[in-house]
Amino acid sequence: MRRPPEPAAAEDPDWPLLSRAVDGDERAFAGLVERHQERILRTCERLLGRAAEAEEAAQEVFLKLFRRGATFRPQGQLSTLLYRIAVNHCLNLLRRRKVLRFLRLEGEGEETEAPRLDPHDGRAGPHESLEARQRWREVRRAIDRLPENQRSVLVLARFEGLSYREIAEVLGITLGAVESRLVRAMRNLEVAQEKGGAGVSGKGTRR
Amino acid sequence: MSDFREEDLLEAAAGQLDAPRLRQLDAACARDPHLAAERARVERLWRSLEPASPSRVPFGFATRVTARAFAERSEAFSLRMMPGWVRLGAASALIAGVALGVGAGWLRGAAGSAAGLEPTWTSDSWAESYLDELEQDLSLPEAES
């Protein structure tokens, strides 16, 4: 039997949707997927760096939610739970990929793929757009090289716009850890951008 | 030097610094050009990571996921999901079957020993004992010479 939702969870319309889905309501589940598909796909793509793999991963995230739907306790926002599943799933895939790369002796560069969800500005001209895309590709490569724990914090903070508190909740870490990981991620990106000559980093001295 | 750390500057860039602290940071930057430069550097770096534009969700994604989820569920339909009485009946039938088999075996064994029947296979080799059995049972008459 499902436990009654906690006060914060009671305001979240996603929990009743999940409950109905678990009870066999396909439309409720489809509605739930539709509400969150964009952000979960984006998170998977930012974490994995590969469009094709991201779609499969996002599917798996929703399937995990569905399979274990009856066991989840309605607590907080369902989106936080989804992010948690997504981050854990993607980190597992990245670890698996690392092992495979080691076994096949692949280079890192061989796996780089242009992300489908590239930022684009409709107002920009072809040259600007090309430049922006090139810049983004460099940023993307630098993000891919970040350690997993820094990458997840950066993706959730910068691309998903989650608050530090939400990130701490998703990743199960302290606020201090979120802050320090983000700072380290940004420092690493800055160094990578300076090395790569992306021309997007600040040139000021760091303390 | 002010009491603002790089973490605070990043928090300000991310729009997560609370209003009173942000005002303090503004004031501190107005006093300290080095801090102002540092803040500008962090903000520039933050902005360089352009947030994603509205992503293009693959067509029919939700439908595909939903179909997959419910297909998996129907495949996973098992005894565990059946009503209690069905599970109880199946378990009882299994136990009764095992008990019947064990009981019958035991009774037959007991009846066999009472009749003094011994296993006829004495050879280590199944093939040999089979041939022996054949020879005995068929008891073919030897060709008259």
Please answer yes or no on whether B45 and A41 come within 8 Å at the CB atom.
no
Phi then psi for B60, rounded to 5 degrees? Answer: 75, 20
Mean pLDDT confidence for B7-19: 91
Q: Which of residues 39-98 of A touch B (CB under 8 A)?
A: 41-42, 45-46, 55, 58-59, 62-63, 66-67
Question: Mean pLDDT in each 10-residue stretch from start to end of chain A (207 residues)?
Answer: 53 89 93 94 89 91 92 86 94 86 60 45 54 76 88 91 92 93 93 66 41
Q: CA quadruple A62, A64, A70, A71: dihedral positive or negative? A: negative
pLDDT tens digits, A72-108: 888 888 999 999 999 999 999 988 888 877 776 555 5
The verdict on a CB contact (< 8 Å) between A63 and B55 is: no
Query: For residue B89, what pLDDT is reported?
Result: 87
| Dihedrals phi, psi of B110, to nearest 5 degrees | -65, -45
Q: Is the pLDDT of residue B76 over 70?
A: no
The dihedrals phi and psi of A183, each to the nearest 5 degrees, come to -65, -45
What is the rounded average pLDDT for all residues in chain B?
79
- B92 to chain A, minimum CA–CA distance in Å? 27
Dump pLDDT digits (tens) for B16-69.
Answer: 889 999 999 999 999 999 999 999 999 999 988 875 566 678 899 999 999 999
More confident residue, B57 or B132: B57
Residues of B in Cβ contact (< 8 Å) with A142: none
Q: Is A129 on the interface with B (CB under 8 A)?
A: no
pLDDT at residue B117 is higher than 80:
no
Backbone φ and ψ for B95, nearest 5 degrees, come out as: -65, -45
Distance CA A44, CA B23 (A): 36
| CA A94 from centre of chain | 12
Kindly list the distances between the CA atom of residue B93 and the CA atoms of A10, A206, B96, in Å, as whole numbers in the listed order. 46, 76, 5
Q: What is the pLDDT of residues B97-110, one digit of tens each?
A: 999 888 888 887 77
Secondary structure string (H, E, C) spanning chain A: CCCCCCHHHHCCCHHHHHHHHHCCCHHHHHHHHHHHHHHHHHHHHHHHCCHHHHHHHHHHHHHHHHHCHHHCCCCCCHHHHHHHHHHHHHHHHHHHHHHHHHHHCCCHHHHCCCCCCCCCCCCCCHHHHHHHHHHHHHHHHHHHCCCHHHHHHHHHHHHCCCCHHHHHHHHCCCHHHHHHHHHHHHHHHHHHHHHHCCCCCCCCCCC
Statement: the pTM of the whole predicted model exceeds 0.80: no
Q: Please report which confidence band the pLDDT of residue B114 belongs to, taking 50, 70 and 90 as the band edges.
A: low
Instruction: Kindly provide the ipTM of the predicted complex, given to two decimals.
Output: 0.74
- Please, which pLDDT band fits residue B86 given cuts at 50, 70 and 90? confident
Using only C-alpha atoms, what is the Rg of chain B? 43
Instruction: Copy the structure tokens of residue B122.
Output: 């004495």
